[in-house]
Structure 1
């Protein structure tokens, strides 16, 4: 439950992850072709991190084999943007992933 108070100290705002300390992220899901072997999945993920995630200071937490889902947020305290969403979606689509779904931006600490 998010606390709605008007006069919070800097320390409390940071602890609650609100205002200037809010963190935005988005959910993502995609599918690789059925029968994709483990080496190909590893190569795809390495390329994904090297070309889309790390250069944009993003982080990904998720799981999968040929069907992947997870959360993308920034590596440091910060907010993902619409441009991040579009960049990740385009990269996945351009590199052979299918059924790519990118969720809207949301507060990763206070998702409702």
Structure 2
């Protein structure tokens, strides 16, 4: 029953991420940047990204690649470290992990961090 209700060890932990990157990138370069974000920050950490954006702002959810899996704190931290080290990222947020099935979305805060 806990598996069916996704409780305990069957929870699916995810996080939300958002990023603004420099508007000095041309359109093709910006698309390449997003491809690099997906490849290096998401897929290399065995994660999936669902979301999108326009111009220089992208937002979405980060989930485990595995069916019914969870994002670990180490994976979440790896994504955050990628955002911190990339010079093209001027502002970002990454939420704490939360249960994808039992969450009050009003409690999930997007605390944007401006990089200097």
The residue that corresponds to 2:60 in the other structure is: 70
* Greater relative contact order (Cα < 8 A, sep 6+): 1
**Distance across 2 between alignment mates of 1:55 and 1:32:** 21
- Structure 2 counterparts to residues 10-49 of structure 1, below 5 A: 12-49=1-38
Q: 1:84 aligns with which of 60, 75, 79?
A: 75
Cα deviation for residue 35 of structure 1 reads: 4.7
Q: Point out the more displaced range, 68-77 or 37-46.
A: 37-46
What SS does the corresponding residue of 1:111 show, helix, strand or coil? Answer: coil
Unaligned runs of 5+ in 1: 1-11
Look at both structures and tell me which one has the larger radius of gyration over its CA atoms.
1
Unaligned runs of 5+ in 2: 105-116
What RMSD, in angstroms, separates the aligned Cα atoms of the two structures? 1.5
| TM-score, with length taken from structure 2 | 0.77
**Distance across 2 between alignment mates of 1:43 and 1:111:** 33
Runs of 4+ in 1 over 2 A off after TM superposition: 12-15, 34-38
Give the aligned length.
Answer: 101
